[in-house]
Structure 1
């Protein structure tokens, strides 16, 4: 039976609850325990899949096809535990489920209310898989006091009461602002946050206090006294140069020990932090530096490409180099020469995205990389743009484009070498989709197999010809153009097992030019960099020696 840790936040948003949860999960693993992490989000969207990246950052996709919050990416990267559909829930999904049950008559005509029907649904979600692990860490999105979060706070209050005493604890993240004029850390916001939490029946066992300055012992004692928390359970969370320092930093502050003490686990197993010391060493002691341009359309918000940025960092760690990322807005050279914007970079990455905006710039980025011999990695839309570039500029299909762009404009402007995916195989079933289907959850989502061509670069990179990667797309390269494209040297070196869907393309005569329809960044970890990113950065290192 799992022990439950509920992580809440106060004072302000974006304090790092997801990172703290992930780091704590890693520390508990280091002590020999099994963990699973979950995110409970109060927003009314059913999932983040249809939300703008400017609103919510990237969408993290699980193996079983769930579109989830980016914090699940943190969980996976720090613990290596593959997230599942049952690890993410929103108010929208909860209310949808409750209303579906009401329509079916499951409640036998009862009046449907937040308590108990909504809170029971949340509690049922939390219980899923509780017999599988030693610790279940559940992060509640938003901050205490948010009206939309009240059903979740009430649900975890009830949940803790339903469980035997000592099986649930509460960890609360707050902010200690520093007033430069008086030279003081102010504890009052933390006190008010805890007061708000206690007013709804939740008493924190552990306080994690974000601060830009060291917390004096006197202030720590004051926080413990006024918030009714043991002094050694007041944990300082300082700003770090790298998020991958978090497990060691939190361990140094005693977070994992405070958790074990709160559960009365004694004696506690000693932690084995060797892997995190190695990660820290690779981050802080690089033997070189390479610069990579990420040519995208959501570059104003770096969280829109969070997993890609982290996967590049992992690739750098695999090669013991620092990867300097430059965010290049693809719209800058939609109608201009790309060279002034891309010269000097050791590698170019074009990520996924939706819609026509910025795509001409991405096509030019692929052309620049192809013609100049710069290592190129195209992901999802980035692969499709590389194929369109090859079709236009090498294969002679000057009007090549994507059906997605024609669909947006309502007119036929392009020869669609990329088309709307109408059906594919999922397990033993055929999935069918129409262009006018509802948007939410209707893409080709989750993990699918691919078969790689013997002797290809990607087969060499992976060390195998059978791979499994996560997808999130509704448009696909049309195999009707395969023969004409391969005649130019753009090889289709990865296909779906039935041979119908292109998964990978690469230029045979290029130093390193690969496009993939899937999202390899979602499976990369600091202690297990994804092979594509590790080899991409290796190619960038080689190119840096030539520049």
Structure 2
């Protein structure tokens, strides 16, 4: 039977109850940031009970964005929170799902690794989970593991059993259970109700787990009576009933948890924090947020509903606002509603910049093309990401070069003018083989970090202040090199290419103040204390455009103002 190793590492397990989306991801990320600020080496990990092998095939509208790591793992959006708050890059070992656990166990059974044993949830599934939790823990002080889902979900039981066993194996002094529960407020009674939280804790206790700290999430402050009631019925010390109130901005949350003593309680349990938390950078972020005065509005034209579908994009815009001390307002537009150029122009006339993010599938593509055309013709700052680049190429060919049927094979494989396609559809067999070997493409997608060479003197070069960068990708379609000359004649500048010059990474327009599109996903590398340079430059351009719109009668006057500022 496998036992959890980790030498002297401490383990924090975060569970949630009462409702889903109770805030475990932000909480875990905030705790990681606080412990790191105390000088501890931290490892953040997500254990997700869903049966998908990874997040790559789940619709963003249902589960939120797919976050991509440097090593090409398609993961849950909470890993984005981990990276943004802790500044620590995650990888494919930072998350495991029920699907991955069972796939690993079945693969071992087929190879004969279990020497003819009868394979069962206990010990084989739980051992696989424990091995994953312990992986890499020898090199850190604290491992923070978030258990996805809600306590009481049947698919989460093996994970709860695994962490129960870990507590017995490493001892209470090296293991801490933290439970987040929503405290219900009944508006008609003007009263907080603790019974759902009590039942949530009882579900944990039925699984053999007694929480050490109870974090009470909710909209209303906790009274002393409520804390004592929760302490009594949940078997938790009153001092370990911690208020997890909502904040106006998620980047103030580490400070709010520090204020109620969360990191002190955790350090007190483990006894391994020798210094106070240095939260200077978090205080600077909070000050910048409070000092933000002027607004700038970015129009995001997509197809998925809900902020979580584009979480990293929205956060990257927020980071640039924090850096610039500007409040970045994001207005989301459903591309399907842009049924004509006039509709797109009417709906987008209020924004200061336009962003078309990544996505898959044909839905809302026509509306996104109309948004790109509007941005190009009216000189509105434009940033295209992944699909946004591909559509910017198609828009230029259709509306400038006269290639009216230019398209992507993702949308129309029978099209004669495939400006965007899989590399095997336009690249020679010999080149394609070398390219796919170089990119280490075992499947059909380009996933993870790849280098990009940037043209000197370009907008991208000025934004990055570098001629060589590395960014994360998640796509399977590329710009067809056979159309590069025609695109250059249409005013497109290829300012970023793969280091061998074969694949298009960044395009710009020579006739536009700020028009840039990238094949990669820069949003994945943005941090609140280190905003991404492309987003900073984009928001800068939006601020200039916003200032020039004041008193201007038309876009021509706005453009003249931008040119002369």
TM class by smaller structure: over 0.9
1:369 corresponds in structure 2 to 375
Bigger mean CA deviation after superposition, 361-370 or 180-189: 180-189
- Deviation of 1:287 after TM superposition, in Å, equals 3.2
- Contact 1:293 1:327 survives alignment (8 Å): yes
Please, what TM-score do these two structures have when normalized by structure 2?
A: 0.92
> Matched residues in 2 for 1:140 and 1:240: separation?
23
2:484 corresponds in structure 1 to 482
- Contact 2:340 2:370 survives alignment (8 Å): no
- Deviation of 1:413 after TM superposition, in Å, equals 3.5
- Contact 2:406 2:415 survives alignment (8 Å): no
1:100 corresponds in structure 2 to 107
Give structure 2 stretches of 5+ with no counterpart. 1-7, 425-431, 550-565
**Residues 487/426 of structure 1: CA separation in 2 closer, same or farther (3 Å cut):** closer
Q: Deviations over 1:192-211 (max 9, x none)?
A: 11111011111111110012
SS state at 1:112 partner: coil
Matches within 5 A, 1:258-407: 258-265=265-272, 268-298=274-304, 300-337=305-342, 338-407=344-413
SS state at 1:7 partner: strand
- Deviation of 1:252 after TM superposition, in Å, equals 0.9
Q: CA RMSD in A?
A: 1.5
SS state at 2:528 partner: coil
Give structure 1 stretches of 5+ with no counterpart. 434-440
**Residues 480/82 of structure 1: CA separation in 2 closer, same or farther (3 Å cut):** same
Matches within 5 A, 1:99-248: 99-248=106-255
- Deviation of 1:180 after TM superposition, in Å, equals 2.7
2:537 corresponds in structure 1 to 535
SS state at 1:406 partner: coil
**Residues 57/180 of structure 1: CA separation in 2 closer, same or farther (3 Å cut):** same
1:506 corresponds in structure 2 to 508
**Residues 431/349 of structure 1: CA separation in 2 closer, same or farther (3 Å cut):** same
1:70 corresponds in structure 2 to 77
- Contact 1:424 1:432 survives alignment (8 Å): no
1:436 corresponds in structure 2 to none
Bigger mean CA deviation after superposition, 412-421 or 372-381: 412-421
> Matched residues in 2 for 1:216 and 1:432: separation?
56
**Residues 303/464 of structure 1: CA separation in 2 closer, same or farther (3 Å cut):** same
SS state at 1:396 partner: coil
2:520 corresponds in structure 1 to 518
Q: Structure 2 residue aligned with 1:89, among 91, 96, 99?
A: 96
2:428 corresponds in structure 1 to none
Does 2:12 correspond to 1:5?
Answer: yes
SS state at 1:182 partner: coil
Does 2:46 correspond to 1:39?
Answer: yes
- Contact 1:401 1:418 survives alignment (8 Å): yes
- Deviation of 1:431 after TM superposition, in Å, equals 4.0
Q: Deviations over 1:276-334 (max 9, x none)?
A: 11111111211311111000011x22210000000000111121111111000011114
> Matched residues in 2 for 1:68 and 1:349: separation?
23
Q: Deviations over 1:486-517 (max 9, x none)?
A: 12220111000111110000001211000000
SS state at 2:534 partner: helix
> Matched residues in 1 for 2:456 and 2:72: separation?
29
- Contact 1:334 1:358 survives alignment (8 Å): no
> Matched residues in 2 for 1:282 and 1:374: separation?
27
- Contact 2:397 2:490 survives alignment (8 Å): no
2:455 corresponds in structure 1 to 453
> Matched residues in 2 for 1:404 and 1:395: separation?
21
**Residues 414/366 of structure 1: CA separation in 2 closer, same or farther (3 Å cut):** farther
2:559 corresponds in structure 1 to none
> Matched residues in 1 for 2:391 and 2:144: separation?
40
Q: Deviations over 1:443-474 (max 9, x none)?
A: 11000000001111101110100000000000
SS state at 2:548 partner: coil
- Contact 1:402 1:414 survives alignment (8 Å): no
**Residues 248/430 of structure 1: CA separation in 2 closer, same or farther (3 Å cut):** closer
Bigger mean CA deviation after superposition, 179-188 or 243-252: 179-188
- Contact 1:406 1:414 survives alignment (8 Å): no
- Deviation of 1:225 after TM superposition, in Å, equals 2.0
